[in-house]
Amino acid sequence: MKLLSSFPPFADDRSRILILGTMPGPVALARRQYYGFPGNHFWRILPEILEAAAPRTYREKIRLLKDRRIALWDVIRTCTRTGASDSSIRSVLPNDIPGLLRRRRAIRTIFLNGRTAETLYRRHFGDVIRIPAYTLPSTSPAHASMSYEKKKKAWSAILPYLENRNEWC
């Protein structure tokens, strides 16, 4: 099995929340884009709950996150996996999330994109990181047991954690 590597974090000094996934799927890895699989709801949900125009390009998507003070990364640095399913993830080496939080001190809350991200985060960092972490429903199309509307409503939980929402660029 091939060793997979995640992307560098997207975060800056203005980031207020950190959204953590598990590991990009094969399409996202090939495109070198967070949530790059067209069927993933992430890039549809975020603009809607942020009341922003839907970004057309990856550059516009990243700009939206930056403007809204959202950091993005994955719990996993490297792993092996068969296909795209999180259930087949093996040989996990986690990212240095504590190091990121030391460098980006304005991040005060973590949101985990799905149960696998939660399980891995708590296993590797549950005793280390002391800021609140909340689990949201996975935006993956594999999480079909929840409707898009229910996912979107659940994801709106990030809004109160984005300080100074009236000052968004």
Query: Annotated active-site positions, please?
Result: 40
Widest Cα–Cα separation across the chain: 48
Pairwise CA distance, residues 62 & 39, whole Å:
18
In single-letter form, the type of residue at position 127 comes to D
CA 117 to chain CA centroid, nearest Å: 9
- The 3-state DSSP class for residue 71 equals strand
How open is the CA angle 54-55-59, to the nearest 5 degrees?
Answer: 165
Residues 6+ apart with CB under 8 A from 141: 37, 39, 40, 41
Report CA 15 to chain centroid distance, whole Å.
Answer: 13
